[in-house]
């Protein structure tokens, strides 16, 4: 039987009405199309599956790897819960113009309506133009009737919480929280494996590929929205060097941030899960069983659950460390 090793995947690139060219110019992605808004780094979404890019398992999808290696690949508990489905979707997103204002349904609602997982997610801002913004939640407690009036009058922005953002800013977006990525933002997104999005408002834009306005889901969204106000939508975190600093720990995924300088040895013996590294700044060398991988800014690598000991070396790198 073939052995597992640290796995890189071939990204799946997605055209978006709002996409720019930073995935190419800043993250050195290789594609020819215009308006690529998303690089799906690790995906088990049907018809958008990523495949292993190198080594003896080249060409394998996540599902094939899980079916072959089971708990050795994803972790025994993860396999018991999710079976042959990979639970996370990992992306880089480049918004040249704003994304639609949107919301994702909860696990319960998504299961009932779409036989899908919900879509809890997080954002880590990698680069932002001056005055770039994100929309996260409401700036006050909102009644459903008031929300509908603002929607009908195109004045939603009056009640939305708008955050000016810079590199390093991090937000957790639970299901039910209205949100949108603004123009000029490049970010890493970690989410449950789901492609269920309810668009609420899309600036009356016409898609140049279809010549049509994109479909809205305002009725479906009503029962999905959390109308509450929260004091603090952003994440506060430590940046201690060569340490896994807690970034976002949710019931659906755990993300830490590691600022690497020099040599760092990692021991995952007590973690019953795969680990994903997203390089969001600099580059690093990963050594496992005398095999070395170079991971550069904008690249992602998956460590199967059976890998317990490895070494990271870098002059300077910033890594998002993701597990279940």
Going by C-alpha positions, the residue among 107, 104, 116 that lies closest to residue 199 is 104
Would you say residue 274 has pLDDT above 80? yes
Would you say residue 186 has pLDDT above 90? yes
Going by C-alpha positions, the residue among 284, 238, 292 that lies closest to residue 261 is 284
The CATH number of 9-222 is 2.60.120.10
Domain ranges, ordered by start, for the chain? 9-222, 245-323
Instruction: pLDDT band for 1, please (50, 70, 90 cuts).
Output: confident
Instruction: pLDDT band for 204, please (50, 70, 90 cuts).
Output: confident
| pLDDT digits 0-9 by tens, 107-157 | 999 999 999 989 999 999 999 999 999 999 999 999 999 999 999 999 999
| pLDDT digits 0-9 by tens, 20-34 | 999 999 999 999 999
Mean pLDDT score across all residues of the chain: 97
Q: CATH topology for 245-323? A: Jelly Rolls (2.60.120)
| pLDDT digits 0-9 by tens, 38-83 | 999 999 999 999 999 999 999 999 999 999 999 999 999 999 999 9
Q: Quick one: pLDDT at residue 178?
A: 98
Q: Quick one: pLDDT at residue 2?
A: 85
Would you say residue 209 has pLDDT above 90? no
């Amino acid at each position: 039987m073939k052995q597992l090793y640290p796995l890189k995947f071939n990204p799946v690139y997605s055209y978006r009405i709002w996409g720019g060219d930073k995935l190419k110019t800043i993250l050195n992605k290789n594609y020819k199309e215009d308006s690529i808004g998303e690089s799906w780094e690790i995906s088990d979404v049907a018809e958008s599956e990523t495949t292993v890019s190198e080594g003896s398992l080249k060409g394998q999808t996540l599902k094939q790897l899980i079916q072959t290696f089971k708990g050795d690949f994803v972790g025994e508990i993860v396999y018991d819960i999710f079976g042959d489905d990979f639970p996370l979707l990992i992306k880089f997103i480049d918004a040249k113009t704003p994304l639609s204002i949107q919301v994702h349904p909860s696990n319960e609602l998504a299961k009932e309506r779409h036989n899908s997982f919900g879509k809890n997610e997080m954002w880590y801002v990698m680069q932002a133009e001056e005055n770039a913004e994100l929309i996260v939640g409401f700036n006050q407690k909102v009644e459903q009737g008031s929300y509908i009036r603002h929607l009908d009058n195109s004045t939603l922005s009056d009640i939305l919480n708008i955050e000016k953002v810079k590199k390093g800013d991090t937000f957790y977006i639970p299901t039910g929280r209205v949100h949108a990525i603004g123009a000029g933002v490049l970010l890493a997104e970690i989410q449950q494996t789901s492609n269920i999005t309810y668009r609420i408002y899309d600036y009356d834009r016409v898609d140049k590929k279809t010549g049509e306005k994109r479909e809205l889901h305002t009725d479906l969204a009503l029962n999905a929205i959390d109308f509450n106000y929260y004091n603090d939508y952003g994440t506060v975190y430590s940046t201690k060097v060569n340490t896994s600093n807690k970034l976002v720990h949710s019931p659906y995924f755990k993300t830490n941030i590691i600022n690497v300088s020099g040599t760092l040895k990692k021991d995952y013996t007590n973690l019953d899960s795969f680990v994903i590294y997203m390089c969001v700044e600099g580059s690093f060398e990963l050594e496992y069983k005398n095999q070395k991988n170079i991971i550069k800014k904008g690249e992602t690598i998956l460590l199967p659950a059976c890998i317990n000991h490895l070494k990271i070396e870098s002059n300077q790198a910033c890594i998002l460390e993701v597990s279940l």
